[in-house]
Amino acid sequence: MLKGKRILVGICGGIAAYKSADLVSRLKKKGACVKVIMTKNAGEFITPITLASLSGNKVATDMFSCPQDWDIQHISLAQWAEYIIIAPATANFIGKAASGIADDLLTTTVMASKAMVIAVPAMNTNMYNNPIVGRNIESLATHNGYLFFGPASGHLACGDTGTGKMEEPTAIVEYVERLTNASRSYEGKTVLVTAGPTREALDPVRFLTNGSSGKMGYSIAGAAAARGARVILISGPTHLQPPASVEFVPVVSAVDMYNAVMDSYKECDIVIKTAAVSDYRPAVAYNHKMKKTQNEISLDMVRNPDILAQLGKDKGKRILVGFAAESIDIIEYAKDKIKKKNLDMIVANDITQEGAGFNSNTNEGFILDSNGGMEQLTRMDKMEMANIILDKIACLFGKDNQ
């Protein structure tokens, strides 16, 4: 339902800007209140008069035009907007936003706003694949909670064929509708998310760990908070900034994580265990740094508690969701884990696939549920997957978003 939603559309200077006129028109037809900011370069591709006619509102282009009714434009638009759609989002806009540069009306407004930001990138394939652009997208997604929709693949205006095409306005509108429908579906729920790896100490300077980045769990935590949930994020060591408005509990080892989870379990309605918990820890963790000798050494390891299996034994009415990182027989192992750990749902991925699992911005795999349901998830951004997982969980507690 977009009726009455206050949507600010930011248009940057790219050839795809012509599609933004259709986007504004479609949002209006759905009943949204739409205002538009165009960058100076956007004006090279499309005129403000077109957007003003379609949105029914004056189009803002200039930071330094005389204040109307003594409203400071970037502040009033920033406060007015519930959702900001940047379409097309150019590499330049993404780079500036990721670096905290606010040198025009659009970047200043976005930075001053608490609205949900949906960026719809469009650019040449080589630009999109440039690691600097990738890093900026990752930074905005993980530190600022931006949602990225697209880009799609196809024939580009520059003549290349590849990734970089702006998603079609119809698809953008559907995506935003899905977000707004889901927006308060977790109100009143407490969601516990575990994320990242655990570290198992050998001595004060050495530890055993794994390559989990924490991105999947942090994306879920941020998306659940955006839907109105109280979120407790218990995380092993990562390089990520916890999303705003989650209760953050940093831990180091599997035993620390076990204790932190058990402390919060009673208060939770939903537990989502994305953490890559170490199954074993060294039998002895030395207080002082181990010294080398001439001899070979071997390591005795003891089992860590299986946190999720323990939660499954005292499940009550809670919804338990696990993750399974597998390299062979994915579906079989995942089904087995649903049963063994008494889960409602498991998200399984094949960590041997490029673009899935550990340390990747994207993920793909399968969602399996305890009733035998199974859905394949094609490769997508982890934030997008987080939203699909939350939609599925909402169906379990009776808040069907469809």
Among residues 325, 338, 377, 394, the one that binds ligand CTP under rule CB under 6 A: 325
* Stretch in the footprint of ligand CTP (CB under 6 A) among 55-63, 128-136, 164-172, 272-280: 272-280
Applying CB under 6 A, the span of 32-40, 177-185, 316-324, 361-369 interacting with ligand CTP comes to 316-324
Question: Using the rule CB under 6 A, is 270 a contact of ligand CTP?
Answer: no
User: Is residue 336 at the binding interface for ligand CTP, with CB under 6 A as the rule?
Assistant: no
Terminal alpha carbon distance of the chain? 11
Is residue 323 a contact point for ligand CTP (CB under 6 A)? yes
Say whether 158 is catalytic.
Answer: yes
Considering only 3-11, 221-229, 237-245, 269-277, which stretch makes contact with ligand CTP by CB under 6 A? Answer: 269-277
Nearest alpha-carbon partner for 42 in 88, 76, 83, 74:
88
Query: How far apart are the C-alpha atoms of 207 and 218, rounded to whole Å?
Result: 23
Q: Which residue, 137 or 277, is less far from ligand CTP as judged by CB?
A: 277
- Site for ligand CTP contains 55 (CB under 6 A): no
Quick one: which of 119, 191, 324, 345 contacts ligand CTP (CB under 6 A)? 324
**Dihedral-angle region of residue 238 (phi above 0 means left; psi in -120 to 50 means alpha; beta otherwise):** beta
CA 157 to chain centroid: 29
Contact between 234 and ligand CTP per CB under 6 A = no
Q: What is the DSSP string of 286-315?
A: -SSPPPP-SS-----EEEPP-HHHHHHHT-
Q: Whose Cβ is closer to ligand CTP: residue 166's or residue 246's?
A: 246
Distance separating alpha carbons of residues 348 and 350, to the nearest angstrom: 7
- For ligand CTP, the closer of residues 88 and 197 by Cβ is 197
Does the protein bind ligand CTP through residue 335 (CB under 6 A)?
no
Tell me how far, at minimum, the Cβ of 279 lies from ligand CTP, in Å: 5
Q: Which is nearer to ligand CTP, 166 or 234 (CB)?
A: 234
> 218 near 245, Cβ under 8 Å?
no
The residue (of 59 and 246) whose beta carbon lies closer to ligand CTP is 246
- Residue 156 CA to chain centroid, in angstroms? 27
Report yes or no: 214 and 194 within 8 Å, Cβ to Cβ. no
Measured from the Cβ of residue 35, the count of other Cβ atoms closer than 10 Å reads: 23
CA distances from 281 to 178, 193, 238, 326 (A): 43, 22, 19, 20
Q: Residue 273 interacts with ligand CTP (CB under 6 A)?
A: yes
Asked if residue 183 binds ligand CTP (CB under 6 A), the reply is no
How far apart are the C-alpha atoms of 107 and 103, rounded to whole Å?
Answer: 7
Binding site for ligand CTP (CB under 6 A): 254, 273, 275, 277, 279, 304, 306-308, 322-325, 337
Catalytic residues: 158
